[in-house]
Amino acid sequence: MLRWRMRIRWYGQSAFLLTGRDGVRVFVDPFGELPEELLAERRRRQPDFRFDYAPIRDVEADLLLVTHEHFDHNGVGSVGGGPLTVRSTAGTFDTPVGSVIAVASEHDDAAGTQRGPNAIFVFSLGDLRVSHFGDFGQAELRPAQRDAIGEIDVLLLPVGGGPTIGGEPAAAVVRALLPRLVVAMHYGNEAVSFLGGPEPFLDALPEGRVERLGTSEADAEPLLGERDAPVVALFAPPL
């Protein structure tokens, strides 16, 4: 029997493998080898475009969740093990971890007309309630969305701005949901050139205790803070 409550491994961008104490594995938003034509097109528009996270390989899961259909989130062929897949939809689903709620949201602040829909996933691993926000881009969380998400312990949140929230809007989501642990994702670093860094978000959330980890994998339990003083974890980019 595994002794920890939940283990978190970040693969870069919004891709995570979450493993519960019972060994059940949930993978969210995988990416694979990026097509050369896509890279060439991006570099034509942005000459310094960089996406240097290693393609995800040799990983298996029992449940695979995809928040939306963009190249850096929907590489379902990268995950083996024959997982049950919940992909780019809203609703409530029976899965290997029990009930998974997929809350409809948007990838932009224009009702999804610019970047399309985005699913916010909510589920439990053991006694920890988790929410993954995908590429949430709304100006703010709507009351009905907040109510559907409910009380959570661990929030995986985009903080880099640009195509998603960052800065004060990201801090407002934390204050609306009051998680004990915020895992920052989808932000600029040495692997990614087209997103902003996490600093505006960290500045906007002074009540958060920042933990800059020297690894891309960690147990959740030692990182849990308080609901009015969460830990904000910055995992080391997996290069």
CA count, 13 A, side-chain hemisphere, 176 = 18
pTM for the complete prediction? Answer: 0.96
Between the CA atoms of 18, 20, 22 and 26, what dihedral angle is there, to the nearest 10 degrees? -30
The b-or-e profile of 50-88 (16+ CB within 10 A means b, else e) is ebebeebeebebbbbbbbbebebbbbbebbeeebeebeb
Contact criterion met (CB below 8 Å) for 188 and 213: no
Residue 22 maps to a domain: yes
pLDDT tens, position by position, 102-159: 999 999 999 999 999 999 999 999 899 999 999 999 999 999 999 999 999 999 999 9
Give the pLDDT score at 239: 81
Give the whole-angstrom CA distance, residue 162 versus residue 192. Answer: 13
Give the whole-angstrom CA distance, residue 153 versus residue 179. Answer: 5
Give the pLDDT score at 35: 82
Give the pLDDT score at 4: 65
Domain limits for position 177: 6-234
Residue 220 maps to a domain: yes
Does pLDDT of 3 surpass 80? no
Residue 239 maps to a domain: no
Residue 12 maps to a domain: yes
Residue 108 maps to a domain: yes
The CATH number covering residue 126 comes to: 3.60.15.10
Residue 81 maps to a domain: yes
Q: How many domains does the chain have?
A: 1
Residue 10 maps to a domain: yes
Parallel, antiparallel or unpaired: strands 25-28 and 15-20 = antiparallel
Residue 77 maps to a domain: yes
Does pLDDT of 81 surpass 90? yes
